[in-house]
Structure 1
Amino acid sequence: MDPALEELRWRGLISNSTDLDALSEEFAKGPVTYYIGFDPTAPSLHIGHLVQLLTMRRLQQFGHRPLALVGGATGLIGDPRPTAERTLNSRETVGEWVQKIRGQIEPFLEFDGPAAARMVNNLDWTAPLSAIDFLRDIGKHFRVGRMLAKDAVSARLNSEAGISYTEFSYQILQALDFRELYRGYGCVLQIGGSDQWGNLTAGTDLIHRTEGVSAHALATPLITKADGTKFGKTEGGAVWLDPSMTSAYAFFQFWLNVEDAKIGDYLRVFSFRTREEIAALEASAAERPQAREGQRALARDLTSLVHGPKAMEQAEAAAAALFGGGDLTALDDGTLADALGQLPVARLPRVDHPVADLLVAAGLAPSKSAARRTLKEGGAYLNNAKVPGEDSTAGVADLLHGRWLVVRRGRKAIGAVELVD
């Protein structure tokens, strides 16, 4: 098998392929132009998109040429979801999201050299099409029976919501994208998630019917947690790549907290570490799970890649400081606020308070008597300093950045109090 495909296979990134042997032969002939599409159905990509972004980057590192498509046209329609119709966003909103998502994709790719990447927008070739041209030149190549058999379509047909003709037509638009990229750039491979398989093969079928050649589709697997549920969700919702929607600290913490049982799989899919490095981290997870070395490696690698090395260092310093391993006063206001935003936060008047009251307000003690008992036993900390006695107080003079008090019971139970006017 071609080395690039062997690397994807070893990392568990090949779920399905139209013809893996034929694709391997295509790769052996020389650089292959391939594309992955991203629809602007939100103002940011989320960590589920990292699988495709990193796969695109891996193949470019092997010398193949990526086309990153941001769907200014398909984003106006929306890929059918299994349960209900998408809300249609305005052209202005989708246009703004196209630019934001382009900016998120670009750092993952190289735009110079023999394998230079290109950014493309399917609105460029879809907008000029009239409805008659679309139906005569493109629609005639699609058979309704096959379209109905696609998983996303059949799921919706069998649901109470049904499916509109708008979303039913999505697969035709995606197929058109592949054909246009074949014609314009010699693109012969489309990559997408396994849930996109019907749309991927619609494109290969259209190219075969209209161009008389074979093109290829490759699907990556759906990434799951150990219990089989979808990966990438938290109690607060999706983990976004935009730092204004998910802070660098929260992003770092997400990876730091992934399950031990899946750390080997996640390192293969989401990191660029070597086989030897991953084997060592898997051994560490088995022998010293409490060290969380694999999770820390993932958190460092991905936070640096998505948010930059400086943001990663600040997020790691904040995590260490919150748990007593660093100086809270050394954290800047924004980093501290991001970190405390992940904790229970109580708001109290801007006056001095017994520390026992702060422990109760932050949810670290069920009652004032229990809080006083913790204080008496020396188990309470204020801004990482041990509180000396059960009658201790704290207030304005102790505030971090004029705003926060960080309270901790023992090593791991942490809360925050904001003193407000």
Structure 2
Amino acid sequence: MEATTSIRFRNALVFLRHQLRSTYACRPRHQQQCRTNVNTTESPVRKNFSKDVMSKFINQGIGDMKNIAHPIPGLLETLEGRGFLGQFHGNRDEFTKLTNGEVIHIYAGADATASSLHIGHLMVLMPMIHAMLHGHRISLIIGIATARIGDPSGRLTERTGMKDRSLGERTFRHGTDITRQISSLLKSVINHARERGYDETKMGRRHITSNLQWHRNVGIIDFMQIVGHRARIGEMMLRKSVSERLKSDEGLSFSEFSYQLIQAMDYWHLFSNLGVRLQIGGSDQWGNITAGCDLINKLVNEAGWIDEQPTPSLIKNMAKPYGLTVPLLTTSTGEKFSKSTGAGNIWISANKTPPFSLYQYLLNRPDDIMEQWLKYFTLLPIDTINEIMVEQNEHPERRPAQKKLAYELIHLLHGPRIANRCVQTTATFFGQTDEPDGLKKRDAKLQLGLTKSDVEGISARPFWEPILRDDVIGSPLEKALVAGGVAPSNSQARTLLKSGAVSIGPHLRQVKLADEKILLTEEDLISEKILLIKIGKNKLHVMRLETEETIERARMERKNPEETLEGEDPKIGPKTPLQRRTLRRREKKAAVTAKRLKKGEEKKVSRNLEIEKLSGSIRGQATSQPEFNTLLRDALDRAEHKDSKPRIAVDRVEFTGIRMNKPKAK
């Protein structure tokens, strides 16, 4: 009985999806008309369905949802148990019954305002991951279009750069970077979940796209006809994102005011074209989420053709949208983690935040948030988390919760190899290890001396602080501390050295300033260019010594490490047949272009020599054919090797001018 109900439920949703599909997203631009208004007695598919046809349609099943397996029950209970369940739009009991018996489509979005997601975005990504592990289908929407409008939620001022001419190019580039990042992240998540006991065959499908794909095909008239007529100013003014900005000194621009309508149209498009039933976002997105739910409800209720169907209540039941918000991740001061506040230097991308830096950041989190963060950012069962917290309370000095959190999150984001490397590097530099003979291994490693590969375990070369070699070698050590940003002044650097908290060199020897100055020598360097300085128990500074010729480039690498790292990666050859065909087509085009340019250069040189030959004939000094061929070869050689090959001296006839037309025959 449940299987029959499941098939009927899925296929009624497919029917509704076909009926409500917006035509602007699937028709050529030149054929688009404003036919998205569903308030009509005519269905976009058929005028009406007879009772027999409708029964056959629902019971037999069509579309891509016919053979979808049943999900793993308990999605809402899982999210609530891990603390992700904030505000919920819709009937929770109906939604629980829906997700326990049916595979639904869920979406979440992230605006392309930066080239990477930060740790605050994990509060939305992790519920999507849990939904995927329960068998539901997820769509991650990159907001290239909405990033050009500017979301006012949680902000007292407008985003910078919203009026720049390069805004479109910048958001498109950022959207491409985030798409690659999420695609790589989902692959890592699947591997991580497989190692944690999840069955890959029961995981839901994944979908990544950008809202620019449908917004670029919607004109202002279509947008107003679809959304504008159904929006009420009073409701929009009451939303928190609008009311708080109106109280600020800067106020609210019209583009930011309309942001909630544009995001509402995103939900409508995904609902009517992909059958999306749930939107997940941060708690500051509540107004935008409810705006999308309201728009869908109004469009469905206005569809007169639904009431003419044999089962209108069943169809409208399939059209109920839901919304869910998750708590925001905040800093110690209570600020929201964002690119401009707490998470400005805690990025998911390894090109912006080295994994070892993220690992150390998580190791140094306070004890009072460990239980909640383990539930947020790991896939560990709740029982396992409770056991870790029991050990944490009994032996807080061992910091088992911090170590488990750091390892699991790095494993999830960057894979097991990098996670194990972070553990080994932490043991080498700080002596934090759970191995019985871990300290003996560390002492043996330091006695032999650290190498460049050990330092690269901390971070890649572009993240190292560049300093001028001639300024620090043979000079007092406090000068290197100031140049590398360890201390703001020489006096504070000397105070730091007097405390004995500084260790330097390949052996991490402790230095302590007494009456005599400590000079920096070549023996304190690693691989002749790297200066490693450890401050206290858990701070590391890596500097690279540069010459006057290389210091500027090193500073540019430090300023833009993401671009440098992408440029240093080895070129990966084409993998798919399409990529190989594209590469061959480009190579062929380049060869044809080069051949055409070379042929044009030959024609130009030959023509000039013809002019010189004609000039010699006119002046009574005719050039023979062998001499002309020699001149032609020499001229071609000079054109091809202008700088490398010396010019060959050739007797030429000087002339001041010549008629371009042939002389008339007498």
**TM-score calculated relative to the size of structure 1:** 0.87
Secondary structure at the counterpart of residue 237 of structure 1: coil
1:137 equivalent among 223, 226, 229: 226
- Residue 288 of structure 1 corresponds to 395
Deviations 1:400-421 (A, max 9, x none): 1322333457655765665555
Deviation of the 1:118 alpha carbon: 1.2
The one-letter amino acid of 2:521's match is G
Aligned twin of 2:261? 172
2:157 paired with 1:84: yes
Does the 8 A contact of 1:346 with 1:417 survive in 2?
no
Verify the 8 A CA contact 2:115 2:177 in the aligned structure 1.
yes
Partner residue of 2:375? 268
Q: Does 1:383 align with 2:513?
A: no
Alignment correspondent of 1:65: 137
1:5 counterpart (61, 76, 95) = 76
Alpha-carbon distance between aligned partners in 2 of 1:337 and 1:201, rounded to the nearest angstrom:
43
Give the direction of change, closer, same or farther, for the CA distance of 1:102–1:394 in structure 2 (3 Å limit): same
Q: Does residue 176 of structure 2 align to residue 99 of structure 1? A: yes
Matching residue of 2:286: 197
1:350: how far off? Answer: 5.2
Q: How far, CA to CA, are the matches of 1:323 and 1:228 in structure 2? A: 30
Partner residue of 1:162 out of 251, 254, 258: 251
SS at match of 1:163: coil
- The CA distance in 2 between the partners of 1:232 and 1:73, in whole Å, is 20
What displacement does 1:8 show?
0.5
Tell me which moved more, 346-355 or 205-214.
Answer: 346-355
For residues 365 and 310 of structure 1, the distance between their equivalents in structure 2, rounded to whole angstroms, comes to 42
**1:235–1:181 CA distance, 2 compared to 1 (3 A):** closer
1:391-410 to structure 2, matched below 5 A, reads 395-408=521-534
In 2: Cα distance, 1:409 partner to 1:80 partner:
41
Residue type of the alignment partner of 2:224:
L
| Structure 1: gaps (5+ residues) | none
Range with bigger deviation, 394-403 or 39-48: 394-403
Q: 1:151 aligns with which of 233, 240, 243?
A: 240
Closer, same or farther in 2 for the Cα pair 1:411/1:222, shift >3 Å? closer
Contact preservation (8 Å) 1:344, 1:415: no
Contact kept, 8 Å, 1:66 with 1:118, in 2: the verdict is: yes
User: Which of 18-27 and 167-176 deviates more?
Assistant: 18-27
Q: For the structure 1 residues 353 and 218, does the alpha-carbon distance in structure 2 shift closer, same or farther, using more than 3 Å as the test?
A: same
Q: How far apart are the structure 1 equivalents of 2:540 and 2:206? A: 45
Pick the aligned partner of 2:208 from 102, 116, 119.
119
* Aligned partners of 1:314 and 1:335 also within 8 Å: yes
Aligned CA RMSD, in angstroms, stands at: 3.5
Q: Kindly tell me: are residues 3 and 348 of structure 1, through their superposed partners in 2, closer, same or farther at Cα, counting changes over 3 Å?
A: farther
Give the Cα–Cα distance (whole angstroms) in 1 for the partners of residues 178 and 222 of structure 2. Answer: 30
3-state SS, counterpart of residue 205 of structure 2: coil
CA 1:232–1:200: 2 relative to 1, 3 Å: closer
2:453 is matched with 331
Aligned length, in residue pairs: 418
Distance across 1 between alignment mates of 2:245 and 2:499: 58
Change (3 A) 1:365 1:342: farther
Instruction: Find the counterpart in structure 1 of residue 357 from structure 2.
Output: 250
Q: Which segment is superposed worse, 6-15 or 98-107? A: 98-107
1:398 Cα deviation (Å)?
Answer: 3.4
Match of 1:230 among 306, 311, 336: 336
Q: Deviations over 1:71-100 (max 9, x none)?
A: 221122121142111232522221111111
1:27 aligned partner, one-letter code = T
Could you tell me how far apart the structure 2 residues matched to 1:240 and 1:209 are?
39
Task: Give how far 1:282 is off.
Answer: 1.4
Preserved CA contact (<8 Å) 1:406 1:415? yes
2:147 matched to 1:75? yes
Cα distance change on mapping 1:239 and 1:140 into 2, 3 Å: same
Check conservation: 1:357, 1:368, Cα contact below 8 A. Answer: no
Q: What are the Cα deviations for residues 180-210 of structure 1, in whole angstroms up to 9, with x where unaligned?
A: 1111111111111111000001111111110
Deviation at 1:5, TM superposition (A): 0.8
Q: 1:275 to 1:171 in 2, by over 3 A?
A: same
Deviations 1:15-60 (A, max 9, x none): 1101322211211231111100111011111111111111111111
Q: What is the CA-CA distance between 1:107 and the residue it aligns to? A: 3.4
Cα 1:236–1:345 shift into 2, 3 Å: farther
Which range moves more in the overlay, 108-117 or 355-364? 355-364
- Give the C-alpha shift of residue 332 in structure 1: 4.5
Contact map agreement 1:204 1:216 (CA 8 A) in 2: yes
**Which shows bigger deviation, 140-149 or 394-403?**
394-403
Q: Which moved more, 1:220-229 or 1:285-294?
A: 220-229
Asked if 1 retains the 8 angstrom alpha-carbon contact of 2:73 and 2:101, the reply is: no
Q: Is the Cα–Cα contact under 8 Å of residues 197 and 219 in structure 1 kept in the other structure?
A: yes
The question of whether the paired residues in 1 share the 8 Å contact of 2:285 and 2:325 is answered with yes
| Distance of 1:132 and 1:92 partners within structure 2 | 25
- Percent identity over the alignment is 31
Please state how far the C-alpha of 1:229 moved relative to its aligned partner: 3.9
**Distance between the aligned counterparts of 2:156 and 2:496, measured in 1?**
48
**Residues 142, 296 of structure 1: alpha-carbon distance in 2 compared, 3 angstrom cutoff:** same
Counterpart code for 1:64: H
Closer, same or farther in 2 for the Cα pair 1:331/1:78, shift >3 Å?
same
**Comparing 174-183 and 216-225, the one that deviates more:** 216-225
Going from structure 1 to structure 2, the CA distance change for 1:344 and 1:321 (only over 3 Å counts) comes to farther
* Distance across 2 between alignment mates of 1:164 and 1:360: 45
Gaps of 5+ in 2: 1-71, 191-199, 302-318, 432-438, 548-666
TM-score of the aligned structures, taking structure 2 as reference length: 0.57
Deviation at 1:370, TM superposition (A): 8.4
1:306-385 to structure 2, matched below 5 A, reads 306-324=413-431, 326=442, 327=445, 328-329=450-451, 331-332=453-454, 334-337=456-459, 349=471, 351-352=473-474, 363=487, 371=497, 374=500, 382-385=505-508
Per the TM alignment, residue 394 of structure 1 is displaced from its structure 2 partner at its CA by: 5.1
